[in-house]
Amino acid sequence: MAEPFELTLVEQTAAVRRRELSPVELTEHYLRRIERLNDSVGAYLTVTPERALAQARRAEQRVMEGEEAALLGVPVPVKDLTPVRGVRFTSGSAVFAEHVAGEDAYIVTLLRDRAGSVLLGKTNTPEFGLPAYTENRLGPPARTPYDLRLGAGGSSGGAAAAVAAGLAPAAQGSDGGGSIRIPASCCGVVGVKPSRGRVSPAPYGDGSGLAVSGPIARTVRDAALLLDAMAVPAPGDPFSLPPPERSFEQWSRREPGRLRIARWASPDVAGVTVDPEVLAAYERTSELLAGLGHEIVDVPQPLEPGDRDPFTPVWAVMAASMPVPPEREAELMPLTRWLRERGRSVSGLEYTRALAAMQAVGRKHAAAVAPYDAVLTPTLAQLPAPVGALRDDADPEADFAAQLAFTPFTAPWNIAGLPAVSLPVQWTVSGLPVGMMLGAAHAADGPLLALAAQVEAAAATAGLGSARIGYG
């Protein structure tokens, strides 16, 4: 008989609803695994066992009363960039190691109260979610469970490591430049960046529209179920989409039909090359899509070197906007200090111009996507990097450049506000996951999930691989 952690999110919710699996027993099961394995994979910064068990007991009572909330009694952790009232809230920074949140983010209310999930704790993230790796001064780095010498990516590295190592069935992440899809690729799980306006940032928001919360899970259907729980608009959202015509979970079970799919694998960043194993996986995925009956169209990289330059000052201003006491500025990571210094040098007028220029780049990217039903690219240009390989405390500018070379394909989808999903449909001979990214036009999250589920199923049938528990 399968262990509870081996069950998918969909299977766990069904088992709880049928009263075959107790929320309390399920929570205790995950807490034991976290206690045993977390130091190795660096998935959680904060674990809240007493709160989790209290929530599980309440969920068990709701089950006995016949309630059928979407995620009732199933654990779903949140990233430590997301505040939970009364729980330590570090944002990945040692400066805030003892900080406790005074309010819940709207998405926490949706997941815990409305959907009925159990919060196990807060997952690991780098300082302020800025880098594409998850290393900070609060705890061990997040690692891919397939090779503990390698990092989990970032900035939702803890969330992806938790799902891949069986320390949660699914997790909330956030993505401002690839921060869900990067660790999903490194950890061999599914990561979905929804369309801009699909998931509310309430009560926060940086004004750029870059960042959005989304699901990390082992299957597309699990991710779709979690996205359904997240995609509830809040009054006053600056960007908001109407509810889809059917649930995302229903979309994940639909045949997508024959689609016209563009593809490109050339980065728009000068001097960046793509690893041969990544390119081989890209070609195999293209063949898989063609075998499913889709029309595959080679398209030139729509962006040119320098197009995305306005992203950097916007990102730097976001870093500078974090309220750090001046006397504690020196305690920040070198990359954070470098970005904040750059951000403080950007005037209001320069920031406005950078936003406008970035939006023009987004329109250029969206225009290239518009003639097609979907787009295929690699998620990353490289295989998972060793812990510390991207980070360069002595030269933060080189650190930033190394991250860009690692992740050249992800940020344009944030700039344009379009949906994208990283799928673990390819693996190297040595057993490392290689994520492939599918993207689509704005608001086409549902059809994109239908295609992703079809690819996932076909890859598993073909023996190319699919998400699996990688540790313990």
User: In sequence order, what are the residues at sequence separation of 6 or more whose Cβ sits closer than 8 angstroms to the Cβ of residue 469?
Assistant: 5, 6, 164, 165, 166, 218
> Looking at 22, 93, 117, 155, which residue is catalytic?
155
C-alpha radius of gyration, the chain, whole number: 20
What mean pLDDT is predicted for residues 412-417? 98
At residue 206, the pLDDT reads: 82
> Distance between CA 104 and CA 12 in Å, rounded?
26
Active site residue 208: no
- Asked whether residue 306 carries a pLDDT value surpassing 90, the answer given is yes
- Indicate the angle between helix axes 23-41 and 49-64, nearest 10 degrees: 150
First to last CA, the chain: 17
- Which residue type occupies 215? P
For 113-143, what is each residue's pLDDT tens digit? 999 999 999 999 999 999 999 999 999 999 9
Nearest to 60 by CA among 30, 17, 31: 17
Give the per-residue pLDDT at 304: 97
Q: Any catalytic annotation for residue 422?
A: no
Region 295-299 average pLDDT? 98
Other Cβ atoms within 10 Å of 404 Cβ, number = 19
- What tens digit of pLDDT does each residue of 214-246 get? 999 999 999 999 999 999 999 999 999 998 889
- Whether 466 shows a pLDDT value over 70: the answer reads no
Catalytic-residue membership of 193 = no
- The vertex-79 CA angle with 72 and 240, nearest 5°, equals 75
Per-chain mean pLDDT for the chain:
97
Q: Supply the DSSP symbol for 118.
A: B
The CA dihedral of 403, 407, 408, 409, to the nearest 10 degrees, is: -160
Catalytically annotated residue among 22, 93, 156, 179: 179
Thinking of the domain 4-462, which architecture would CATH place it in?
Alpha-Beta Complex (3.90)
